[in-house]
Amino acid sequence: MFVKQLPKFINSLDYARSMDLNDPLKEYRNKFHIPQKENKDLIYFCGNSLGLQPKSVRNFIEQELKDWETLGVEGHLHAKNPWLYYHHLLEEQTARLVGAKPIEVVVMNSLTVNLNLLMISFYRPTKTRYKIMMEYMAFPSDQYAVENQIKFHGYDPHKTIIELMPREGEYAIRTEDILQKIEEHKSELALIMIGGVNYYTGQLFEMEKITGHAKKSSAEIVVGFDLAHAAGNVELNLHDWNIDFATWCTYKYLNSGPGGTSGVFIHEKHCNDNSLPRLSGWWGNEEETRFKMQKGFFPQTGAAGWQMSNAQILPMAAHRASLEIFDEAGMKKLNEKSFLLTGYLQYLLLNGKRKDFKIITPSDTAHRGCQLSIVMNNSGKKTFDALTENGIIADWREPNVIRVAPVPLYNSFEDVWRFAEIFHSV
């Protein structure tokens, strides 16, 4: 993680425009459809919820529609990208995106499904070691999945989940407090399962430090991350960080369309371990014997051995369009722009007329991605509605939080400047 000083920003439209002119990624905005109102681009700050559509998606999907149209079932072998092996087309780029080896990743299913599949393999409680540590205010879907996995094993969620809390009056959870808590529970912890970036506060957890500490405390603690808000947002090095498993959705920062597919990471040290329990289906079986229709499951090597059903070609085609863009831009460059863009947003928010709010996302740039969560003291919903009327798409969370995410691929410094202008004047 790079730690740099933010530059001395200036609050003016000219300055914002000059930042855009000097932006090495400025051309990328043209690769996306920007939603409009009355023929004017909206200011879209919801890439953390549903990323915008890459213009190239249409071609990727057209290709598969065409092959289906002209080949029918023969497309499995004779499509331009034969469907039988389609998931392999996503491995290299996915691996680069999250800092993994190709063997450690697979694209399949959707996020909560994968979270459950991975917990089947990696949450294996015993009488003495059965607790799961997760963050306070984890995404509801993750909470439901964890609670029910616990019940599935016959334990009581209330006595099994250890929640990491922020200190009184704070919003982010301090790393030192997390490490302390791991220390306290090291003999009973089976699994640590945290969202890499919290969807609500925008806090980026120190995944490497947390994992390192857990592994040092006990080799038996398994560490997994839900990277829904981290993949495509921050630089990841899942392999080197020694994370056991991770999964993410592809429709947020990864712009792969509503309900899009999901990515999975299983560390090299586990992904060929056939002794791990897993739910299985034909697509995870060795490719050579998949169609022999024999009894006995022989998982193929790597994370691909966790597949169950045959690949969902259309969502995966959409995802390939986006992966191509990410691969070309590179997470490093995206992060450098993100650092400036979100830094500029923070600067403009804190140096304007309006003072009736608080940013709860860490101000330390090492502890956040591109989202800022703003708690409004009062009239929050009114402000949010006024923003919407003025052409801004942001996200409202009851009771009083506005989440804004300027994303480096298609948001501009001018977007950020205009947002702040409107925010301070409504």
Ligand X SMILES: *Cc1c(COP(=O)(O)O)cnc(C)c1O
Q: What is the contact surface with ligand X in residues (CB under 6 A)?
A: 110-112, 139, 141-142, 195, 199, 226, 228-229, 249
Measured from the CB atom, the residue of 114 and 412 that comes closer to ligand X is 114
What is the spatial distance between Cα 403 and Cα 175, in angstroms, rounded to a whole number? 23
**Nearer to ligand X among residue 93 and residue 261 (C-beta):** 261
Give CA separation, 302 vs 161, 230, 281, 339, 357, in Å: 30, 23, 15, 34, 48
CB-CB neighbours of 376 under 10 Å: 19
- CA–CA distance, 246 with 238 (Å, rounded to integer): 8
Q: Based on C-alpha coordinates, what's the Rg of the chain?
A: 22
Contacts of 291 (CB under 8 A, 6+ apart): none
Shortest distance in whole angstroms from residue 92 CB to ligand X = 24
Name which of 19 and 105 has its Cβ closer to ligand X.
105
- Return the number of the residue (249 or 254) whose C-beta is nearest ligand X: 249
Instruction: Identify which of residues 75 and 369 has a Cβ nearer to ligand X in the complex.
Output: 369
Q: How far is the CB of 139 from ligand X (least distance, A)?
A: 3
**Cα atoms found within 13 Å of the Cα of residue 388, Cβ hemisphere only:** 12
- Number of helical (H) and strand (E) elements in the chain, helices listed first: 14, 15
Q: How far is the CB of 105 from ligand X (least distance, A)?
A: 17
- Give dist(CA 79, CA 67) in Å, integer: 5
Give min distance, CB of 113 to ligand X, in A. 7
**Does residue 393 contact residue 44 with C-beta atoms inside 8 Å?**
yes
Closer of 189 and 194 to ligand X (Cβ): 194
Helix, strand and coil percent figures for the chain, each rounded to 5: 45, 15, 40
C-beta closer to ligand X: residue 264 or 348: 264
CB of 133 to ligand X, least distance (A): 16
Q: SS3 for 131?
A: strand
Residue 26 beta carbon to ligand X: minimum distance, rounded to whole angstroms: 29
Compute the least distance from the CB of residue 95 to ligand X, in Å: 21
